[in-house]
Amino acid sequence: MPSAEELLGRARELAPRFAARALDTERNRAPLDESLADLIDAELLSVLTPRAYGGHQLPVRAAAAITATLSAACPSTGWVYAFYAGACWRSMMFEARTQRELFADKPYLLNAGQAAPLASVKRVEGGFVLNGQTAWSSGAVHAEWILFMGVAQGGDAPPTPMVFILPRAETTLIDTWQVAGMRGTGSVDVRVDEAFVPAHRAVPFVPVLEGRSPGQALHGAMYQKPFVPFLMCEVVPVLVGALRGAASAMVERTLGRRGTLNGVRFAERQLPQARVGRGLAAADAAEDLMAAYLARFEQGGPEAGELAARVAMKLRGAFITDFCRNALNDLARGFGGDGFREASPLQRYFRDVNMLAVHAFLDIDTAAESAGRLALGLTPDDPVL
C-alpha cells in the first residue's frame, strides 16, 4: 500500500496538469474525463476506503492534504475529488451487505449526492419508493451511484429522515449547472421517478449525524465520527487549497506586471509587495487552522457525536471558510483588470471561493447562529448538524 506521503507526491505531480486544464474544465462544466482517469490511475480515490475493500484506509488528514493540493491547481477538480474520496468514508454508514455491493469491483466509489430532501419517500414492502428532484449533486456527471435524502412516510413507523443510495442509471440528470463559480463541478440536478430502493440501501440519518450507525462500527474508530464534521474535512481543504493557489498566482501576476502609464514594475512597489505578503500569510494561517481542525476531528472520541461538539466543529469549519473568503477578496483588490480575464486563474479563485463560502454547510452566518443559540441556552434549528 502506498503511504500518505507517496499519494500526496502523486497529487503534486498531477497538479500542474489540472491547472493547465482548469479553463477547459470550466467550459466543460464538469471534470474532464482525462482528469478523472488521472485520479484513478494514481490511486488517489481510495485513500479513505477500508483495507477490507482494497483501499488504503489512511487518516482523514491524508485525503485533506490531497484535496488542498489539487484545489490549489483547480478548485472544481479538487471539489469533485473531495466528494469522491469522501464517499468511500461516508458509505460506511450503510450495512455490511451494501458496503460489499458498493465496492464489489473496485476500491473506490464514484458517488454524488445532495442534502436537500426529496419530495416523496414512501415505505413499501422490501424498501422504499423515491420521487422528486434535488439540486447541487456535485460529481453526478461521472457518478455511478447517487445518494439521496428524504423523510420516509407510511407504514406503522413514524416519519423518519433517511439516506438512500441507488445506481445513477436509475436516476435522471437535469443539466441546470449554469453558475458563476465552481463551474467545473458538474453539480447538476438529479431526479428520480418511482425509483425503488431496497431496504439494505437505506439508513436512518440521525445515527449517521451522530456517527453511530451500525455500519460505521465495522472498520474501526476512524469511521465512527459524526457526519457534518467529516463533511467539513472534505470541503474546507478546497477553500484552503484555493487560497494557496490564489496567493501563488498573485506572486506570479505581480512579478510580471507593470504600470500601464509609467511602466514601473509592480514587484518594486510597496503596496503590491504588502498585498502579496498578506496573501501568503493568510494561506499559511488557513493551513494551520485546517490542521488544527483535522487534529481535533481525528482525536475526537464518542463525545464528538454530541450536539454541542457538532455545532462547535461546524462553526470552526465555517470560520475557516470565511477567513479564506476575506483573504481572497483582499487579494482581489490588487488583481488589476487583466486579473479578471477568463484565462487568468486569479478570477477563477475569486469566483470559486466566494461561491463556496455561501454553501449551506459552509456559510458562517448559519453556523454562528447555531453556536450562538446554543451558548444562549436555546436549541439550534439547523436541520443538518
| DSSP string over 32-49 | -HHHHHHHHHTT-TTTTS
Residue 9: its pLDDT value, please?
98
| 104 within 8 A of 54, measured Cβ to Cβ | no
CA atoms within 13 A on the CB side of 314: 31
Could you count the other beta carbons within 10 Å of the beta carbon of residue 318? 24
Beta-carbon contacts of 241 under 8 Å, excluding residues fewer than 6 positions away, are 67, 68, 69, 70, 71, 72, 75, 78
Residue 1: its pLDDT value, please?
85
CATH of domain 111-203: 2.40.110.10
| 317 within 8 A of 232, measured Cβ to Cβ | yes
CA distance 7 to 44: 7
> For the chain, what's the residue count?
385
Per-residue pLDDT of the chain (385 residues; tens, 9 = 90+): 899 999 999 999 999 999 999 999 999 999 999 999 999 999 999 999 999 999 999 999 999 999 999 999 999 999 999 999 999 999 999 999 999 999 999 999 999 998 899 999 999 999 999 999 999 999 999 999 999 999 999 988 999 999 999 999 999 999 999 999 999 999 999 999 999 999 999 999 999 999 999 999 999 999 999 999 999 999 999 999 999 999 999 999 999 998 888 888 999 999 999 999 999 999 999 999 999 999 999 999 889 999 999 999 999 999 999 999 999 999 999 999 999 999 999 999 999 999 999 998 999 999 999 999 999 999 999 988 8
| 288 within 8 A of 372, measured Cβ to Cβ | no
CATH of domain 225-375: 1.20.140.10
Segments of the chain assigned to CATH 1.10.540.10: 4-102
CATH of domain 4-102: 1.10.540.10
Output Rg (C-alpha) for the chain, integer angstroms: 21
Segments of the chain assigned to CATH 1.20.140.10: 225-375
Output the CA–CA distances (angstroms, integers) from residue 102 to 147, 166, 287, in the order listed.
12, 10, 33
Residue 286: its pLDDT value, please?
98
CA distance 379 to 124: 34
CA distance 204 to 151: 9
Q: Specify the pTM.
A: 0.96
Residue 33: its pLDDT value, please?
98
| 237 within 8 A of 297, measured Cβ to Cβ | no
Segments of the chain assigned to CATH 2.40.110.10: 111-203
Could you count the other beta carbons within 10 Å of the beta carbon of residue 378? 11
